[in-house]
């Protein structure tokens, strides 16, 4: 049976509950425990798949095809444990399940209510990994006091009663703000946040205090007294140069031992510090490269969270600092805004907006032999650019952008149109591809067959492959010899575009081969 740690937040959002929870998970993993994480989002959407990135940031895709919160990407990168549909739940998904049950008559005619029907369904999701992991860490999104989050917190309260205090604990992330005019930190927001949590019936066991200045021992004692936690359980969480340094900072404050003792666990091994050593060395590089991410959501960095993290992780492994420059392909001048870059990425996206700028960015990278990586829509734009500028098909387009195009080099395939009857037309999750030997992709992956995560509904139309290959744009990987998965332009040292999302598979000790290769090519390009 699993032990459970709930991570809640108060005062304000964006306190880093996901990073704090993932850091604790990593620390417990380094002690030999099997750890998994679940994210509970209180919004009524079924999943973030239909949300604008400006609303919710990046949509992370699991291997089994779930569209999920970007925190699942943080969990995967810290733990190197593949997330699944069971790792993500939303209020919308919970309510939909309960309503479907009611329509089938599963409740035998009783009045369906938040308690017990909604909370029972939530608790069922909490226990998804009960038999497979030693510890499950459950992050409840939003802040204490949000009306939509109340059923999740009530379910957490019930869960502790049912499972026993020795099996369930709560870490509450809160803010200790610094008032510059007074020149001091203030504990009152944390006190109010904890009082709100108590009103729901939950007593926090640990306070993770987000702060810009060190918290003194006397202030920790004050928080301990007013919030009913041990002084040692008041943990200071300050900004770090890298999120991967956070686990070591929490370890120094004794958080791991405190949790092990509180849950009556016995560590299976000692933390040998190797992970900390790697991160410390890798986060102090002397060289730097600048990589441009050319997309239409440039104002919101979280829209490209996994792309930026993958660049950072590739930089760590190559002992180079990666400076990311975000280029808005709808507003920024192209190609003027691309000058001076060591590499260019055109990431995924949906809709028409910003497409012309992406195509111009790809043309600039191709003509100037700048290391280039296209991702998902970035590959589709690569195909359009080649069709227009290499093959001379000036009206070549995607049927998403121009349904009446005479040259639909990017289009929805017939098999995907059939899926529409089931409510969706996207390829989601892991799909395999066979790589052509001798290609750049084969050199990077060092294998013949790969599996990567997809999130798209349009494809490089295979009918145009022979024409564009004659013009220099080669297909180097196919899905079942039917759909092009990777294209390359061999005349350039590093020019590759993929239909899938490689950014979801990068890890601190294992950067994705495509990002690792891009970092190496950018460093070489900088020297030249």
Domains of the chain: 3-279 (3.40.50.300), 285-527 (3.40.50.880)
Task: Extract the tokens encoding 438.
Answer: 């001798």
Helix (H) or strand (E) holding 468: helix 465-470
**Angle formed by the axes of helices 188-200 and 217-227, nearest 10°:** 30
Share of the chain above pLDDT 70, in %: 98
Report whether 198 contacts 173 (CB < 8 A): no
Mean pLDDT of 423-445: 91
521 pLDDT more than 70: yes
How high is the pLDDT of residue 281? 86
420 pLDDT more than 60: no
Q: Please compute, for residue 500, the number of CA atoms within 13 A of its CA located in the half-sphere on the CB side.
A: 28
SS (H, E, C) 34-89: CEEEEEEECCCCCCHHHCCHHHHCCCEECCCCCEECCHHHHHHHHHCCCCCHHHEE
Using 50, 70 and 90 to split pLDDT, how confident is the model at 92?
A: very high
How high is the pLDDT of residue 350? 87
Q: 106-156: per-residue pLDDT in tens?
A: 999 999 999 999 999 999 999 999 999 999 999 999 999 999 999 999 999
59 pLDDT more than 60: yes
How high is the pLDDT of residue 423? 44
Using 50, 70 and 90 to split pLDDT, how confident is the model at 14?
A: confident
Look at 286 and 254; give whichever has higher pLDDT.
254
How high is the pLDDT of residue 422? 41
Lowest-confidence segment of 55-69, 279-293, 414-428 by average pLDDT: 414-428
Which one from 76, 309, 503, 512 is the annotated catalytic residue?
Answer: 503
421 pLDDT more than 50: no
What are the phi and psi torsion angles at 329 (to 5°)?
Answer: -75, -5
Helix (H) or strand (E) holding 4: strand 3-9
Using 50, 70 and 90 to split pLDDT, how confident is the model at 285?
A: confident
Q: What are the beta bridge partners of residue 486?
A: 477, 498
Q: Comparing C-alpha atoms, which of 477, 458, 480, 491 is closest to residue 380?
A: 458
How high is the pLDDT of residue 424? 63
Report whether 86 contacts 125 (CB < 8 A): yes
How far is CA 276 from its chain centroid?
A: 22
How high is the pLDDT of residue 134? 97
Peptide bond into 262 cis (omega under 30): no
How high is the pLDDT of residue 283? 82
SS (H, E, C) 425-466: CCEEEEEEEEECCCCHHHHHHCCCEEEEEEEECCEECHHHHH
Lowest-confidence segment of 93-97, 408-412, 422-426 by average pLDDT: 422-426
Mean pLDDT of 481-510: 96
Which one from 40, 209, 227, 376 is the annotated catalytic residue?
Answer: 376
Look at 182 and 169; give whichever has higher pLDDT.
169
Q: 292-309: per-residue pLDDT in tens?
A: 999 999 888 889 999 999
What per-residue string of b and e applies to 220-231 under the rule 16 or more CB within 10 Å gives b?
bebbbeebebee
- Examine the residue annotation and report whether 367 is marked as an active-site residue of this protein: no
Query: If DSSP codes are grouped into helix, strand and coil, which group holds residue 109?
Result: coil
- Examine the residue annotation and report whether 501 is marked as an active-site residue of this protein: yes
- Examine the residue annotation and report whether 40 is marked as an active-site residue of this protein: no
Which residues, at least 6 apart from 524, have a Cβ–Cβ distance to it below 8 Å? 493
How high is the pLDDT of residue 245? 94
pTM reported for the whole predicted model: 0.94
Which residues, at least 6 apart from 424, have a Cβ–Cβ distance to it below 8 Å? none
How high is the pLDDT of residue 45? 92
Q: How many residues does the structure list for the chain?
A: 528
Look up tokens 């760590």; give the residue.
Answer: 316
Look at 351 and 40; give whichever has higher pLDDT.
40
Q: What are the beta bridge partners of residue 178?
A: 185
Look at 392 and 301; give whichever has higher pLDDT.
392
How high is the pLDDT of residue 50? 85
| Spatial separation of the C-alpha atoms in residues 409 and 393, rounded to whole Å | 10
Mean pLDDT of 421-439: 84
Q: Comparing C-alpha atoms, which of 503, 515, 501 is closest to residue 454?
A: 501
Report whether 479 contacts 485 (CB < 8 A): yes
How high is the pLDDT of residue 204? 97
Mean pLDDT of 88-96: 96
Q: 247-257: per-residue pLDDT in tens?
A: 999 999 999 99
Report whether 252 contacts 223 (CB < 8 A): no
Share of the chain above pLDDT 90, in %: 84
How far is CA 387 from its chain centroid?
A: 33
Lowest-confidence segment of 65-79, 260-274, 375-389, 404-418 by average pLDDT: 404-418
How high is the pLDDT of residue 333? 94
Q: 317-375: per-residue pLDDT in tens?
A: 999 999 999 999 999 999 999 999 999 999 998 888 899 999 999 999 999 999 999 99
Report whether 140 contacts 7 (CB < 8 A): yes
Q: What are the beta bridge partners of residue 138?
A: 6, 38
Question: CA-CA-CA-CA torsion for 54, 18, 80, 272, nearest 10 degrees?
Answer: 150
| Spatial separation of the C-alpha atoms in residues 193 and 142, rounded to whole Å | 13
11 pLDDT more than 80: yes
501 pLDDT more than 60: yes
SS (H, E, C) 373-401: EEECHHHHHHHHHHHHHCCCCCCEEECCC
Q: What is the largest CA-CA distance in the chain?
A: 74
Mean pLDDT of 220-234: 95
């Amino acid at each position: 049976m699993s032990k459970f740690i709930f991570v809640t937040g108060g005062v304000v959002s964006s306190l880093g509950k996901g990073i704090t929870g993932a850091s604790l998970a990593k620390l417990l993993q380094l002690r030999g425990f099997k750890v998994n994480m679940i994210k509970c989002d209180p919004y009524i959407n079924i999943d973030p798949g239909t949300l604008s990135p400006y609303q919710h940031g990046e949509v992370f895709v699991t291997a089994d095809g779930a569209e999920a919160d970007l925190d699942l990407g943080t969990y995967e990168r810290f733990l190197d444990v593949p997330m699944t549909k069971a790792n993500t739940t939303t209020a919308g998904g919970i309510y939909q399940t309960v309503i479907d049950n009611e329509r089938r008559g599963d409740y035998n005619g009783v009045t369906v209510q938040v308690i017990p029907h909604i909370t029972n369904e939530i608790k069922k999701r909490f226990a998804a990994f009960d038999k497979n992991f030693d510890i499950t860490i459950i992050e409840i999104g939003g802040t204490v006091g949000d009306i939509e989050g109340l059923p999740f917190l009530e379910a957490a309260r019930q869960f502790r009663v049912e499972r026993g205090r020795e099996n369930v604990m709560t870490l509450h992330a809160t803010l200790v703000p610094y008032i510059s005019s007074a020149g001091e930190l203030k504990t009152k927001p944390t006190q109010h946040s904890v009082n709100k949590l108590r009103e729901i019936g939950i007593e926090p066991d640990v306070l993770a205090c987000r702060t810009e200045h060190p918290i003194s021992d006397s202030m920790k004692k004050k928080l301990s007294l007013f919030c009913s936690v041990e002084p040692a359980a008041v943990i200071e969480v300050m900004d770090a140069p890298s999120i991967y340094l956070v686990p070591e900072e929490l370890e120094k404050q004794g958080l791991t031992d405190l949790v092990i003792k509180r849950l009556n666990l016995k560590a299976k091994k000692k933390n040998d510090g190797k992970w900390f050593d790697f991160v410390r060395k890798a986060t102090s590089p002397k060289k730097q490269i600048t990589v441009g991410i050319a997309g239409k959501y440039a104002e919101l960095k979280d829209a490209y969270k996994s792309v930026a993290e993958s660049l950072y992780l590739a930089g760590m492994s190559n002992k180079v600092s990666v400076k990311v420059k975000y280029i808005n392909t709808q507003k920024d001048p192209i190609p003027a805004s691309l000058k001076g870059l060591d590499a260019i990425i055109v990431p995924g996206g949906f809709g028409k907006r910003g497409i012309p700028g992406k195509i111009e960015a790809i043309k600039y990278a191709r003509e100037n032999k700048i290391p280039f990586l296209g991702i998902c829509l970035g590959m589709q734009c690569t195909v359009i650019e080649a069709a227009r500028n290499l093959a001379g098909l000036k009206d070549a387009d995607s049927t998403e952008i121009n349904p009446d195009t005479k040259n639909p080099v990017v289009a929805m395939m017939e098999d995907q149109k059939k899926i529409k009857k089931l409510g969706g037309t996207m390829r989601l999750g892991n799909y395999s591809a066979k790589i052509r030997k001798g290609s750049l992709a084969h050199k990077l992956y060092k294998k013949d067959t790969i599996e990567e995560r997809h999130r798209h509904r349009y494809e490089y139309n295979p009918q145009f492959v022979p024409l564009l290959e004659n013009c220099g744009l080669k297909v180097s990987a196919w899905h079942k010899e039917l759909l092009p998965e990777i294209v390359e332009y061999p005349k350039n040292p590093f020019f590759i575009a993929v239909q899938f999302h490689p950014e979801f598979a990068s890890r601190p000790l294992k950067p994705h081969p495509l990002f690792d290769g891009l970092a190496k090519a950018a460093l070489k390009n900088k020297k030249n």
